[in-house]
A and B are shown apart, each in its own frame.
Chain A
């Protein structure tokens, strides 16, 4: 067997095994170098897996050569390949370009532990994506969640602690609900393998426990994915986490939970439960629409830059869900495509914020007057990310919004209302980005200086300058990727349309 066949396992095993080694790296920058190298390796594995999937359709791997359904199966499909790319790329870019930001927020002696937790989070997230059975998904979900609590708690403000506590409680409830659902399905089918579950369910006569399981799994995963109204853990966690952690998680964490949710809904429940597709649509469309409008509305009035973007993330989860809840090929393609494009846009925005934060300690809007005159490159990258999020033609965000609107219009009269909601929320996005742009480009510097009172008593005001070149380079790399995938979306489009037909192919 060549190494190529082991790639699905290596994808998880490499970061997981290197994580404990990273703790031992006490030298300056060694832990960072090792974590980054591992992340790059994970990205390379993800790319070659994607190539294999594009060629062969899907890749299956039997752990220890025990064949499914008795052994543990790892399965990489077009959908998981897309998410593997998002997760590993987000981790690699934030690590590679974010060293200065991490150095400034995490003390030197805590860094080895921080990077170890980072690699565990990475291993957990890719593990969820490649796992082919329901219980391994739970285990990897908890691995990634526990690691992400640690990463968020590393934030410099003390408010990070209560927000992590809230996240921990809600995340554990979500995971436990999921576990209950999996248990109920196991009771009725005697299997944990997702593909096998789907077949065995056809022989189950009393479907009541499965309906209950569907409820538990949907709610549990919706909690993890921050679907409105279960999003309350997200804004504070993203606000007080270290900037690079926010950039990493904003790009991929909620999407991985949505991935599991969609796989369960479309592969396990919809083919086997009568009327389930209708219930799924009727349940999720209102949540998606209210979530989009509510979160955009809150973002309109939010003054803290990171929390504003966190609320915008909640709205974007709504878009993905709206596309998926159409339960049509076009809708699913749009939703899955939006996962990719939102990761690009939010990644660029949060990286730009990390650049800002190297110079400005307070990220409230009223402290950022005229910042674009001092940091033109950072703010320009921020604007590109913003345009992509709003969905201006020529950026990645436009592609998925266009797909979403055309998918929604297939729904007739209801579709028109939904289009109005999508457009209204895009307009709100324009407004909240304009507020930032207005302050940054046309505002006056605040009277007490940009450094938030730190200069009091000092004769010399610290000179504001552009962010470190290397971080700026990374930010622009992602910003330009937004434009590149806006003009040439063939790769994500190929993967997401294939993913959509895979998901729907199981429906009768």
Chain B
């Protein structure tokens, strides 16, 4: 049962692989970006999972409460930064897809490849 108890980690690996599969297998550039986004979100889950302390609550210190157990705030802060990085990457990726659509008229990878070959 110990393995099942780590279900958050199983979920993380599953989501990671789903995203990775989409990045590799899909030829539509938007779908690739969706896959990339899922791939990155999986890592957020890993960090959020690792900061949980058994019985711990949100790490906000209150006056008069001294025997409280808190979860580790550092990974949450780290992952906030990583989320920002992920959003910027996604925005830039989508902007590039728009430019590709403008100059090639398609966002299918194989058709772009064909258009480049023909030239």
A-to-B contact residues, CB < 8 Å: 135, 138-139, 142, 146, 149-150, 153, 158-159, 161-162, 164-165, 168-169, 172-173, 175-176, 179-180, 183, 186-187
Contact = CB atoms under 8 A, between A and B. Distances in A.
A161 B43 contact: no
B50 to A, nearest CB: 5
Given A139-B85, A187-B50, A180 B93 contact: no
B76 interface: no
Contacts of B68: none
Nearest to B113: A162
Nearest to A179: B43
Interface in B73-113: 75, 78, 81-82, 85, 88-89, 92-93, 96-97, 99-100, 103-104, 109, 112-113
A139 B23 contact: no
A139 B81 contact: yes
B116 A159 contact: yes
Contact of A168 (B43, B81, B93, B109): B93
B15 interface: no
Given A146-B89, A161-B99, A168-B92, 11 more contacts: A142-B88, A146-B92, A149-B92, A158-B103, A161-B96, A162-B112, A168-B89, A169-B93, A179-B43, A180-B46, A186-B75
A165 B93 CA distance: 7
Interface of B: 20, 23, 29, 32-33, 36, 39-40, 43, 46-47, 50, 75, 78, 81-82, 85, 88-89, 92-93, 96-97, 99-100, 103-104, 109, 112-113, 116
A105 to B, nearest CB: 16
Given A165-B97, A183-B46, A187-B50, A173 B39 contact: yes
Contact of B43 (A150, A180, A186): A180
A176 B96 contact: no
Contacts of A138: 82, 85
A191 B23 CA distance: 32
Contacts of A149: 92, 96
B29 to A, nearest CB: 6
Contacts of B96: 149, 153, 161, 164-165, 168
A146 B86 CA distance: 11
26 contacts: A138-B85, A142-B88, A142-B89, A146-B89, A146-B92, A149-B92, A153-B96, A161-B104, A162-B112, A162-B113, A164-B96, A165-B93, A165-B100, A168-B93, A169-B23, A169-B32, A169-B36, A172-B36, A172-B39, A173-B20, A179-B82, A183-B43, A183-B50, A183-B75, A186-B50, A186-B75
Nearest to A143: B85
Nearest to A142: B85
Contacts of A146: 88-89, 92
Contacts of B32: 169
Contacts of B78: 135
A165 B29 contact: yes
B89 A161 contact: no
Nearest to A139: B81
Contacts of B33: 169
Contacts of B88: 142, 146
B69 to A, nearest CB: 16
A172 B96 CA distance: 15
A150 B20 CA distance: 24
A62 to B, nearest CB: 18
Given A176-B39, A183-B46, A161 B100 contact: yes
Nearest to A168: B93
Given A162-B116, A179-B82, A150 B50 contact: no
A176 B39 CA distance: 8
Nearest to B88: A146
A149 B89 CA distance: 10
B94 to A, nearest CB: 10
Contacts of A172: 36, 39-40, 89
A448 B36 CA distance: 46
A169 B90 CA distance: 10
A187 B8 CA distance: 14
B33 to A, nearest CB: 8
A179 B40 CA distance: 10
Contacts of A173: 20, 23, 36, 39
B95 to A, nearest CB: 9
Contacts of A164: 96
Contacts of B113: 162
Contacts of A158: 103-104
Contacts of A150: 92
Contacts of A159: 116
Contacts of A176: 39-40, 43
Contacts of A175: 85
B12 to A, nearest CB: 9
Nearest to B116: A159
A169 B20 CA distance: 10
